[in-house]
A and B are shown apart, each in its own frame.
Chain A
Amino acid sequence: MKKEKVDVLVVGGGAGGIAGAISASRYGVKTLLIEREDRVGGVLNQCIHNGFGVLVYGEELTGPEFLFKLLEESKGDFEVRSGETVLRILKDEKVVITVSKRGITCYEVGALVVATGARERPFSTLMIPGPRVSGIYTAGVVQKMVNIYNRLPGKKAMVLGSGDIGLIMARRLKLEGVDVLGVIEIKDEVGGSLRNFVQCLRDFEIPLLTKHTISKVHGNGRIKGVTVVEVDENFKPIDGSGKFFEIDTLVVSVGLIPQNQILEGLVEFDPINGGPVVDDLQRTNIEWIFSAGNSIAIHDLVDFVYEEGVVAGRNAARLALGERLPRRKLKLVRGKNIGVMVPNYLTGDENRVKMYMRVRKTMEGGELRVQGGRVRKYNFKVRPGQMLDVVLDVGRLSFPTGERIESCEVEFHEDRASR
């Protein structure tokens, strides 16, 4: 078993982890990034469509191009070890134990950045009746199969779920010669961005079946078809509305879930975000553990993940250098209409803090308010599927004077008149 000392250990070689490693190594600290797959990049490797990097690099790039630019930024300032998986984190000893082809390694770290991304919700969790058949894949798996493995999943497909990944894969499959019969969405509006709706579905004449879901899977060995039903406002199937579609492939895009099992039992979690509670330093409640990106909450743009990674890496490096980082002072509390929200606490360390949020249900325009004061006005429809990013002017907030942490409400005040 090897023992190694590292100033900043970054777990996860996706956008967040690489950004974190770049950021940390700028402080001259010994930075190591470990990645469980054979290559770094995470999903960037398989997202060959464009839409990445508008904020970070000012241009619309494809996933692989964004990754390339990221790695160019690093100039080899940190070491990367791939094919290495975290087994355990020892909280008091500040040790991270991993396994790889090289064996077991115990890293003594100054600070840890966890950027382990998200996983897809499996189809089986939906409990849709039918036999166990092949030919049902989550969208990410089909994407990797097509773009990396050079294989098609089948000949005739439908997509369940109209989030961005589902829309993108509907287009990808159609472009590659698969017959795409439609995208099924249980809500009454498309889940992903309007741009993707236009450029993936409308452009390719792929029908969007809103207010529909699958009531039954058919097949023997491989999937042979699905029964699609209409649903009412309570998402309950309407009797007699069932329609059979003959398909041999079902692409499932029903949600992403933050992945952070290495932090379970160690740090405080936010049940609405699905990931660790973090402050504006991207720090969890364990002073040497930081996190960034989709492992905290699901973000819409890779640019947001990058931004968080930069913050996490920077502060991990500062801690590793022995700096005493400020403590939490303001607790951000979800008020009206706020769902996912990052971060959860403010330290007051920076004057401008980037916040990422989702509304709980579609808002017909309104105002985002923090501590009662307006931060941003929205004169258009705001949907939960569309993450809001705002820059908070921390100087405008009132901070507690004593040792106590005070609460500070974040709310989205709906106001149709503003449209």
Chain B
Amino acid sequence: MKLRIAVIGAGIVGSLISRELSKYDLELHLIEKNPDVGWGTTKANSAIIHAGYDDPPGTMRARFCVLGNELYGELSRELDFDFRRIGSHVVAFTEEEMEILEDLMDRGMKNGVQNLRILDREELLSMEPNLNPSVKASLWAPSAGITEPWEVAISAVENAMENGLNLHLNERVLEISVERGKVRRVKTNKGEYDVDIVINCAGVHADDIAKMAGAEPFDILPRKGEYILLDEDAHVVNSIIFPTPTKKSKGILILPTIDGGTLLGPTAEDLPKSKKDDLETTKDGIERIKRACLKLVPSLNFSRVLKTFAGMRAETKKMDFIIGKTKVWGFINVAGMRSPGLTAAPAIAKYVVEKIIQEDLGVGLERKKNFKPFRKRIPHIENYGLEEWEEVVKKDPRFGKMVCFCNKVSEGEIVEAIKRGARTLDGVKFRTKAGFGKCQGGFCTLRILEIMSRELGIPIEEIKLNNDEASMMNGKVRE
């Protein structure tokens, strides 16, 4: 009988683990409570692939960050998502801060980070002319990069599905049955799964899932981070700008986003466990970001604000990842994915499959002979030459009809996103970037809903923005 594995949580970690597992011959299920992949922490973070100097040597963070960073290049080619190494600066304003830069450099070298350099004021300002002229120096890490986190998760899941993954959306785990010290069954609001191995990638809810299995308890400490996003006309910085870090967090940053915007944030607000799902932006949080970023770039102009948003991070007391087998045989934790979780994820996926499952649990896995490693993204005009796009349109004229004009997303892409699993407006938006431009869906939302209604064969007023409460319309004007 085939080995049965259930991964709980389709965030960046669960998605990449699923993709890694889909290389092997087994029965694989990915269970996700939200209507789509990557809607937890994965959807709202700084989108940085960190260099790895910030993590204390010897921690899992340190180990997996550097390894993960190295894997992103090839991963982005296999899964066809956007990734760019634009480098990062940690800037120092005082002598004390400069000493911290030296510490970080030291740490980085111990962790195996390549090409770290301390830059003096002149070189720093020549690279980043908008920085506060009173900066003294920076730690430059050329291996740092940016990506679109939910795209990584979505592309990993699409690839895994092509290789046999069973994806279960809108499904919430209610019970995990353990018999004679081994994990046996996972019960959800939709069904039951007999399993041999359960991998807990449930993000801010990982402690709840661990409790269900009766594994050693731990606490996930929710930490909210608010962000401000500036539109593509704000040209502020060329690489990622960090202030000198504190013990608690990397601080409030300024960085380019992979599609040309500028991201400011995050704040770091520790919330009680009861507020795990509180994703509200606050007056205080927004003010804090403005103040911190004006210190880094005094000429920052808030007239180009596109939007604000908040994300939740999963912090733990020991400030490190919780990865490993537990006293419940077959139940594996991959939790506490605080920064640099996104960066570390590809390396963690390999570790879970190679070390934890095969070595620690002694479960032999057989590689598939026909694993298909490449996934292609939805065709988009900005990635093609004009002649090439002409061919795309010839094959399917819907790729010639623009729906989101700000981001040049065509009807063909909307239809393809629905084919690939989008059932909500957010599902379409996150897969195509429709509605994410300057007009924020002003011109395209109704048309997207119309296309979705047509393709899915459901009344337009039943389509939700994301979850079941997020209705968009309320009945007809005239019956």
Residues of A within 8 A of B (CB): 1, 36, 83, 85, 87, 97, 99-104, 119-120, 122-125, 127, 129-135, 138, 140-141, 144-146, 148-155, 176, 215-216, 220-222, 248-249, 261
Task: Identify A146's interface contact among B280, B281, B440, B477, CB under 8 A.
Answer: B477
Q: Is B103 part of the binding interface, using a Cβ–Cβ cutoff of 8 Å?
A: no
Task: Pull 18 A–B residue pairs with CB atoms less than 8 Å apart, ordered by A.
Answer: A1-B386, A1-B387, A104-B386, A122-B441, A122-B442, A127-B228, A129-B281, A129-B308, A132-B309, A135-B472, A146-B477, A151-B461, A153-B474, A154-B474, A220-B469, A221-B467, A222-B470, A222-B471
- The answer on a CB contact under 8 Å between A127 and B286 is yes
**Bound Cα distance A141, B446 (Å):** 8
Task: Identify A103's interface contact among B390, B467, B468, B478, CB under 8 A.
Answer: B390
Q: Is B282 part of the binding interface, using a Cβ–Cβ cutoff of 8 Å?
A: yes
Q: Which residue of A lies closest to B303 (CB)?
A: A125
Scan residues 423-479 of chain B and give those whose CB is less than 8 A from a CB of chain A.
438-443, 445-446, 450, 460-461, 464-478
Scan residues 355-393 of chain B and give those whose CB is less than 8 A from a CB of chain A.
381, 386-387, 389-390, 393
Q: Which residues on B sit within 8 Å (CB–CB) of A1?
A: 386-387, 390
Q: Which residue of B lies closest to A97 (CB)?
A: B386
A97-B386, A127-B228, A151-B475 are known contacts. Are A145 and B446 too (CB-CB below 8 A)? yes
- The answer on a CB contact under 8 Å between A129 and B442 is no
Q: Which residues on B sit within 8 Å (CB–CB) of A122?
A: 306-307, 438-442
Interface stretch, picked from B149-157, B180-188, B321-329, B395-403, is B395-403
- The answer on a CB contact under 8 Å between B473 and A152 is yes
Q: Which residue of A lies closest to B283 (CB)?
A: A129
Q: Is B174 part of the binding interface, using a Cβ–Cβ cutoff of 8 Å?
A: no
A103-B400, A134-B470, A221-B467 are known contacts. Are A120 and B439 too (CB-CB below 8 A)? yes
**Bound Cα distance A97, B400 (Å):** 13
B389 → chain A closest CB, angstroms: 6
**Bound Cα distance A138, B228 (Å):** 20
Q: Which residues on B sit within 8 Å (CB–CB) of A101?
A: 393, 397-398, 400-401
Q: Is B420 part of the binding interface, using a Cβ–Cβ cutoff of 8 Å?
A: no
Q: Which residues on B sit within 8 Å (CB–CB) of A176?
A: 477
Task: Identify A119's interface contact among B309, B381, B439, CB under 8 A.
Answer: B439
Q: Which residues on A sit within 8 Å (CB–CB) of B228?
A: 127
Q: Is B71 part of the binding interface, using a Cβ–Cβ cutoff of 8 Å?
A: no
A152-B476, A153-B474 are known contacts. Are A99 and B402 too (CB-CB below 8 A)? yes
**Bound Cα distance A81, B391 (Å):** 21
Q: Is B405 part of the binding interface, using a Cβ–Cβ cutoff of 8 Å?
A: yes
Q: Which residues on B sit within 8 Å (CB–CB) of A150?
A: 476-478
Q: Is B279 part of the binding interface, using a Cβ–Cβ cutoff of 8 Å?
A: yes
Q: Which residues on B sit within 8 Å (CB–CB) of A120?
A: 439, 442
B3 → chain A closest CB, angstroms: 38
- The answer on a CB contact under 8 Å between B439 and A104 is no
Q: Which residues on B sit within 8 Å (CB–CB) of A148?
A: 446
B287 → chain A closest CB, angstroms: 10
Q: Which residues on B sit within 8 Å (CB–CB) of A215?
A: 283
A53 → chain B closest CB, angstroms: 25
Q: Which residues on A sit within 8 Å (CB–CB) of B381?
A: 87, 99
B323 → chain A closest CB, angstroms: 31
- The answer on a CB contact under 8 Å between B305 and A125 is yes
- The answer on a CB contact under 8 Å between B460 and A151 is yes
Q: Which residues on A sit within 8 Å (CB–CB) of B117?
A: none
Query: Per-position contact with A for B333-361: 1 when CB-CB < 8 Å, else 0?
Result: 00000000000000000000000000000
Q: Which residues on A sit within 8 Å (CB–CB) of B398?
A: 101
Q: Which residues on A sit within 8 Å (CB–CB) of B408?
A: 85, 87
Q: Which residue of B lies closest to A123 (CB)?
A: B440
Q: Which residues on A sit within 8 Å (CB–CB) of B469?
A: 220-222
Q: Is B394 part of the binding interface, using a Cβ–Cβ cutoff of 8 Å?
A: yes
